[in-house]
Structure 1
Amino acid sequence: MPVSLHLLVVASETPDQAEARRRSVGAASHETYASTVRSLTDDASIDFLSCVDGSRTPSPPELSRYDGIFFAGSPIQMHEDTEESRSAARFATDVFESGTPAFGSCAGLQIAAVAAGGTCKPRETTMEAGFARGITATEAGRDHPLLRGRPVVWDAPAMHSSIIGTMPAGGVVLARTKSTPIQAAEIRSRNGIFWGVQYHPELTIAEIAASLRRQADDLIAQDMARDSTAIEDYAALLDELHNDAARRDIAWRIGIDDEITDAKKRTSELRSFLSLLNR
């Protein structure tokens, strides 16, 4: 890889949301993203900006100075007309205008879709919590460089309650599941290209455990868990697996394989995007 990529990680958590996540796992979502990206590059300079906190947004020419831009996940709901959702979409529009390649997970993908003219909506079923199961590449996705290295069907860390409703013009669906019709996509708009996934290749198994604990009340309310004890027991198993990825007994109980337990495979899409930047 090049000696130095100049990258931007965009946060869409509010300050309160970011601080709550720091108390839970020691890092806000954009900080986790940067940590994972740094682990995949020999040397990179990474800047942070928020697309929702009211700070000045760089102009497209300023954004074009970056080699690549990452949109981190967050609880933002892009189907709701809020100051935060409008601000995030404007930021992503400027990223497309800049021509700098961009990548996003979960809310990051939804922000890009709305900016390019698509829509989002709440999931019709319960939230997707823990892992997205049976992600399947579409015909377009099977040969797409974003999914290079993935099998035709795989699982991935996931945590979300909303999805893309309609793809924008210039969007191509690369992977789907039965309950989430758009799990991976490429979006071309204005001068730019965006690769994104609804799941979380940047998260560790321990961070998924922490997410389940943070959202325990929602999981119980949606009848996905009987009580907080059940959630804690499941999260504790995930913590054990995070600490020892060779625990096949735990992976078997949870129903996941090395597409999740192997860090190299789990971060496959991030590696593919970094390869795009190095062309």
Structure 2
Amino acid sequence: MNPQDRPSAGAPIVTVVQSSPEVGLDRLAGWLPGLDVRLVRADLGEAVPADVADAGAGLIVLGGPMSAYDDVVAPWLPATRALLSASVDAGLPTLAICLGAQLLAVARGGRVQVGAPPGHEGGVIDVRWRPEATGDRLVGALAADAAAHERRSTPMPSMHADAVVELPVGAVWLAASATYPYQAYRVGSAWGVQFHPEAGAQTLRTWADQVEGLDTEAALEEFADREADITRAARALGESFAAVVREHSHG
């Protein structure tokens, strides 16, 4: 993090809920300028805020290897779903990534399929922006950049087998991939993204090594080939979310 990006005294607080030691903020930690990040390691027994007021000015829910319904394996998931739903009701800026996006969908009445039929989606994918993404406060800049370069998509890391198959009522569908339709959506003040804007090469390697049949070296080679575009877009997403949080906190 650059010195100018370090949070100042009184910076808006954003709570980050982490569900796995291998799925942290990674590169996104350096792309949230002007925010005070408070990490909740739910996987280590730290309590997920029971009151949305305790989340601060924003919320990020990260991914993990469990399913969105795996309450026995991950007993903090009911509290996380409740916090996500309360965040929407309260108008709290929220970014839910991969498992987080699935938890958000379930929390607001959508549906997730465990082990969805298209199979595992891993490596670098093309996130295809829908017209609804134009002007969106989180992903609008990514959609505009894709259009400016005469394409409709943005490369992003991905690693999942479960998938959202039904969006919550009132959700805005923002992006798809060739394999799975619901790569990004917005419901109220919350965004769910199935892809992983936070993931760098080493994190992608760690995940890919655990997936049978996935060619880790091929995935990393494609990441390296497209890293400049991935990084530019992922940084823009993080900075856009930080701007939404700062605006909300000053509103």
TM-score class, shorter: 0.7 to 0.9
The TM-score with structure 2 as length reference comes to: 0.79
SS of aligned partner of 1:206? helix
What corresponds to 2:243 in structure 1?
A: 275
Equivalent position to 1:210, from 193, 206, 213 = 206
What corresponds to 1:12 in structure 2?
A: 19
Is there any run of 5+ residues in structure 1 with no aligned partner, and where?
22-28, 226-230, 242-250
Q: How many residues are aligned here? A: 228
Larger helix share, 1 or 2: 1
CA contact (8 A) 1:213 1:235 kept: no
For CA contacts below 8 A with separation 6 or more, give which structure has more relative contact order. Answer: 2
Aligned positions of 1:144-183 closer than 5 A = 144-150=136-142, 151=146, 152-183=152-183
Is there any run of 5+ residues in structure 2 with no aligned partner, and where?
147-151
What corresponds to 2:228 in structure 1?
A: 258
Question: What is the CA distance between 1:79 and its match in structure 2?
Answer: 4.7
**Rounded Cα–Cα distance in structure 2 between residues aligned with 1:180 and 1:129:** 12
Equivalent position to 2:123, from 130, 136, 141 = 130
Question: What is the CA distance between 1:169 and its match in structure 2?
Answer: 1.3
In structure 2, relative to structure 1, the CA distance for the partners of 1:55 and 1:141 (3 Å cut) is same
SS of aligned partner of 2:141? coil
- The alignment's C-alpha RMSD in Å is 2.6
In structure 2, relative to structure 1, the CA distance for the partners of 1:59 and 1:153 (3 Å cut) is same
The TM-score with structure 1 as length reference comes to: 0.72
Tell me the alpha carbon deviations over residues 146-200 of structure 1, each in whole angstroms, 9 at most, x when there is no partner. Answer: 2233212122101011111111112111001231110011012xxxx10121101
SS of aligned partner of 1:61? helix
Tell me the alpha carbon deviations over residues 106-157 of structure 1, each in whole angstroms, 9 at most, x when there is no partner. Answer: 1111111111111101321220111123x21112113322223321212210
SS of aligned partner of 1:195? strand
Question: What is the CA distance between 1:42 and its match in structure 2?
Answer: 4.3
Equivalent pairs: percent with the same residue? Answer: 19
Tell me the alpha carbon deviations over residues 199-226 of structure 1, each in whole angstroms, 9 at most, x when there is no partner. Answer: 01111122212211132xx2x2xxx45x
CA contact (8 A) 2:81 2:107 kept: yes
Equivalent position to 2:197, from 193, 198, 201 = 201
